[in-house]
Structure 1
C-alpha cells in the first residue's frame, strides 16, 4: 500500500525519470515503481537532478493486477510509462480501477486508446475516476493547437502535423515496431474510423518555418482521432508526423517492412520477442539528456469548415521534458481538485488546453502559439 499520493510506474525509463524530476519541482511526494529496485535506485540517483531533495520511495512490483492493486492502494494518481501499452496497459488500468486511483499514461498507440475508451471508460466514469492515456508531447501539444483553433466556431475538420528533433527512446522504438505489427492506423472521416492505406509509405508535408518538405507517416494514427471521435465540433481528423531528420525518416518504413515480413508467420509471443530484438538493433541505449538547440518540436494544425479556416503553430523544444512536465502538472491538479471530466478523457478535456499551454510556457518549453484565423 502506497504512502505517497503519486506513483510513477516505469520510473527508471527515460520518460519516467523526467516525470519524477518534475514531480520533485512541484513538491509532490511519489513512489518510483518498477520491476527492479536496484535499477530504480540507480536511475533515481544518477539521472534525476535534485533527487536528494525529493520526497520519494522506491517500490519493486510484479506486473500483475493483484500486485499492482496492492501497491496503488492509498495513492491518488498513477503515471504509467510501461509500454507497449496494448501489451502491458490492461493490468495497470484494471489495478487503478480496483484501487480507486486516477490513471495517466504517455501512449501513442491508437489501438490502446480505443481499448481504454470502449472497454474501461464507462467503469472509470462510474467510479468518478479519470482515465487519460496519451498525455504526452507528441499528442497533447498538438491537441492544444487544435483546441485553440476550435475556439472559433464553424470548424469541423482537423489536419494535424507533429514533428520533432532527435531520436526516439528505447521504449518508443519498441512500441513503434510492435504496434505496427499488431494494429492498423486510422483517421476520422465523418465521425467514423477509416483505415490509412497500409501501403501509403512516406508522405511529404509542408512544415511551417522551413522551405524543405518534411517526410511523414501516420505513426499509428496517433491519439487525436480517438479523442475527437465523439466531439460534436469535429467530423474529420487526420494526424501525421515524423522527425526532422530525413535520413532517419526514410529508413523507418524499410525497417518496419522488414520486421513485419520476418515475423508474419510467428505466434504473438515469438513475434513480440523478435520485434523487441529488432528494436534493440535500431536503438539499444538511452538517449542523452535533451538539448533545446537540437531537440525541437513543431505542432501544426489546419482547422477548416465550410466557410472558415484557422491555422495554429506551436514551436517548442525538449519533447520528452514536455511530456514529463504535463504528467506532473496533471498529477498536481488531481491532488488538489477533480478533473474537468471523468472517465476516458484527453489531457485537454481533463485539465484544459489553456491551462496545459500555460505550464509549457511557464517552464520555457514552447513559444507563444501562432494563430491565424479566417472566417466570414
Structure 2
C-alpha cells in the first residue's frame, strides 16, 4: 500500500472522529484530520497520539462545510470518512464533493432517512464512476447488516426480525442530536412489510426478550434503522423490522422528549422541527463520554429469520460499539485503498466488504463472537 495521504476524516475533532483516527493510526495509514476549527482538531490529534502512544501521521486541514471548500481537499484523496452529523442537516456537500472529486464515501450515520436519500439520489452516479457510497459504518446499523447476511445465507429465509441490545450506552453529542431528529420524526421510521415501507409510531416502547437475559427489556424503533433501506429492493427479503434496547436509562427520557415534540410539531416547519430536536439534544448532552470498553459497553444483535417452512436465529455479540465503529471505518478505508471492496455504488458495509470476512476479522480483533460453524 502506498504511503501517500489518501484518506480524509471529515469531522475528525469529535468523539467518533478521534476513534476513527486512532484506528487509522494503528494500521499505519497516513490521513487528513479535517474540520472547521483548527484548535479543536489540534486538541483531538493530541488525544489520538496519547491513546496511540506515539506520533500519528496525520495532517490537519481546515475547511468550511461547502462544496467549494471541500473539493480541493477531496481531490487529493481516495477515501473520505464523514463523521459529522446530524447528516441530513449538514452532510450533503460532503457527498457531492466526493462524487465530483472521484473518491469513495463512507460515513457513520445512524439516520435512516439520510441513508435512503443518498442512495436514491447518488447511488447510480457513484456506481457509474466505480466509487463506493457506503453510509452507516457504525454499530448501528452495520452490525445488524452483518448478522442479517449470515441468516440470509439460507435461501429459504425471506423475513428478518432484528434486535440490538446495548449495555451502558454512552451516546456522543452528534449521536444524541442525530437520533433525536430521527425518533421525533412522526412521518417515517420505517420497517419493511411485503416489500413496502410502513411507519412505526414514534412514541411507543416495546417489550423484547433477548438470549441470556431473564428480564424483558424496553426497546424502540430508534429511527427505524438502515437495514430496511438496504433490503428494500433486495429480492431475498420481504419483511424486515429492527428494534433497539438501548437501556432503560435512555428509553424513558427519549419517550418523554418524543411526546413533547409531538405536542408542538403540528405548528412547526421542517426547519423549526430540526431546530427543536437540536435544542433538546443540547439539553440532554452531558459532554463527551469516555472511550467505551469491551467489558462495559457490551452489545448483542439478535436476528430471527423466517421463511415458508423454516425459522432460524443468529446471535452475534459485539462490544465497545463506538471503538468498533472507528475500527470498521479504518478497516473499510484500508480495503478500499487495497482495492479489496466487493461492490461499488450504494452498499451496506456488509455488502461492500463481505459479511463473513468482516465478522471473522473483528472476532480475531476481540470485538465480536465467532461465525457459526
Match of 2:225 in 1: 222
Residues 260 and 293 (structure 1), Cα distance of their counterparts in 2 relative to 1, 3 Å cut:
same
* Distance apart, 1:359 and its partner CA: 2.4
The one of 305, 308, 311 aligned to 1:309: 311
Task: Mark the runs of 5 or more structure 2 residues left unpaired by the alignment.
Answer: none
CA contact (8 A) 1:145 1:369 kept: no
Are the equivalent residues in 2 in contact too, given 1:313–1:370 (CA < 8 A)?
no
Distance, in Å, in 2 between the alignment partners of 1:179 and 1:247 is 19
TM-score scaled to structure 2, two decimals? 0.94
1:46 Cα deviation after fit? 2.2
User: Please, which runs of 5 or more residues in structure 1 have no aligned partner?
Assistant: 372-376
Separation (CA, whole Å) in 1 of partners of 2:90 and 2:262: 21
CA offset at residue 270 of structure 1? Answer: 4.0
* Correspondence 1:197 to 2:198: no
Of 352, 355, 363, the residue aligned with 1:353 is: 355
Residues 130-160 of structure 1 show CA distances to partners (whole Å, capped at 9, x for unaligned) of 0001111121111111111111220000000
Aligned to 1:179: 182
SS at match of 1:317: coil
Structure 2 contact 360–371 (Cα < 8 Å) conserved: no
Q: Which residue of 2 is the match for residue 41 of structure 1?
A: 42
Alpha-carbon distance in 2 for matches of 1:71, 1:105: 17
* Structural mapping, 1:274-293, within 5 Å: 274-293=276-295
Deviations 1:291-324 (A, max 9, x none): 2221111100001101112211011210001111
Paired residue total: 367
* Equivalent in the alignment of 1:82: 84
Give the equivalent residue in structure 1 for 2:20: 19
Q: Residues 99-118 of structure 1 correspond to what in structure 2 (within 5 A)?
A: 99-118=101-120
Q: Which of residues 226, 230, 239 in structure 2 aligns to 1:236?
A: 239
Q: Could you tell me how far apart the structure 2 residues matched to 1:198 and 1:177 are?
A: 11
Distance in 1 between residues matched to 2:361 and 2:16, nearest whole Å: 18
Residue 262 of structure 1 deviates from its aligned partner by 4.1
- The alpha-carbon distance between structure 1 residues 336 and 229, as it changes in their structure 2 partners (threshold 3 A), is same
1:153 pairs, out of 155, 164, 169, with 155
Following superposition, the deviation at residue 231 of structure 1 comes to 1.5
Instruction: Select between 248-257 and 89-98 the one with higher mean Cα deviation.
Output: 248-257
For the residues of structure 2 that align with 1:246 and 1:223, how far apart are their CA atoms?
A: 23
Given the alignment of the two structures, is residue 207 of structure 1 paired with residue 210 of structure 2, yes or no?
Answer: yes
